Amino acid sequence: MSKPKVAFICVHNSCRSQIAEALGKHLAADVFESYSAGTELKDRINPDAVRLMKQLYGIDMEKTQRPKLIGELPPIDVLVTMGCDVECPFLPAKRREDWGLEDPTGSPDKEFIRVIKTIETKIQKLHTTLAG
């Protein structure tokens, strides 16, 4: 049986959704496949997110990820929006969650790390839920 495909969606696909994709691959690849995408593209992943993910987890998101549009996603089973309210795109999925996360872009490292740790906790919870 194939693993469920989880898509982490945010408008720009440059920060929170990229962190969620990276942590999903790092912490939950045994249970689900992780993807991220957005409705508008930034030219790169947020440099603070890249730096802190390297520092905290040894993950270099720039080597394995890039900003993508939702049209590049495979058919997904679980849609997770990051908290972009009315701008969040609609995609067909069997399960939906909105994580309601503040965008830490432009914030001090302490705030970034708080959001990263919140995403880590939510990834672990999703891992447990989907593992059955």
Q: Can 10 be counted among the known catalytic residues?
A: yes
Q: Can 15 be counted among the known catalytic residues?
A: no
Q: Cα(first)–Cα(last) distance of the chain, in Å? A: 14
Length of the chain as a residue count: 132
Residue among 117, 87, 81, 83 at smallest CA distance from 102: 83
Catalytic position from the list 6, 7, 9, 10: 10
**What tokens were used for 5?**
């495909």
Catalytic position from the list 22, 84, 101, 123: 84
Sheet holding 5-9, edge to edge: 33-37, 5-9, 78-81, 95-98
Residue among 80, 116, 33, 122 at smallest CA distance from 88: 80
Strand partners, 79: 7, 96
Catalytic position from the list 15, 78, 88, 101: 88
Residues annotated as part of the active site: 10, 84, 88
